[in-house]
Amino acid sequence: MGNSALRAHVETAQKTGVFQLKDRGLTEFPSELQKLSSNLRTIDLSNNKIDSLPPVLIGKFTLLKSLSLNNNKLTVLPDELCNLKKLETLSLNNNHLRELPSTFGQLSALKTLSISGNQLGALPPQLCSLRHLDVVDLSKNQIRSIPDTVGELQAIELNLNQNQISQISIKISCCPRLKVLRLEENCLELSMLPQSILSDSQICLLAVEGNLFEIKKLRELEGYDKYMERFTATKKKFA
């Protein structure tokens, strides 16, 4: 795209605090945004061909609340991204990410994280340090198991649909705020689903269609009636 068009977008963003440039075939993060690092609240560069983020520049957007880079070609995230202490929403769907930076737990304001359609092979333990995390979407990755560290997760909703999960730690029942757990289209046998999810957790919506068991078998498990009480109570609340 031409420089004048980019300049116009930068000028608008200077006034609004929002920089949106989608579907433009960009191959790199626009360096022109450097001059806006102190006033941008929102950046959306989705549907481009960006394969990396400039480490020094990305760490300077200290007031940024929302960053969307869906449908790009990112393979890694720089540690400097984790300097964004005001970031509340991060969307990285449909990239090529295999892991998150070790410092990811420093994104202390993060509430919504979407990394659907990447190549994560494990549930990132860094997520468990994020105290304000509400919604996590890790669907369509290559996650095979849910480890014990999940018990520290503060999220209200966890989407793990369309992974390769065959094992779940019993600690998932200890998640203090987890209300919605989506596990559709994984590799779960019914015997691998901890019964404490039904009998002894906060979870009131458990989605497990498309695994290696029939849903009617789930209804026969001990604790299913307790789960249904929570499910019905929540349904009434929102009706």
Q: What is the mean pLDDT of residues 184-211?
A: 97
- Nearest-angstrom CA–CA distance, 29 and 55: 11
pLDDT, tens only, 159-197:
999 999 999 999 999 999 999 999 999 999 999 999 999
**Residue-range definition of the domain harbouring residue 30:** 1-237
The token pair at 127 is: 């997520």
- Nearest-angstrom CA–CA distance, 8 and 63: 22
Whether the model pTM is above 0.75: yes
pLDDT, tens only, 93-115:
999 999 999 999 999 999 999 99
The token pair at 49 is: 């061909």
* Amino acid letter, residue 225: D
pLDDT category of residue 4 using cuts at 50, 70 and 90: confident
pLDDT category of residue 235 using cuts at 50, 70 and 90: confident
Contact 234, 204 (CB under 8 A): yes
Pairing mode of beta strands 89-91, 135-137: unpaired
Alpha-helical runs (H) found in the chain: 3-16, 55-58, 196-199, 215-218, 224-238
Domains in the chain, number? 1
Residue 200: CATH number of its domain: 3.80.10.10
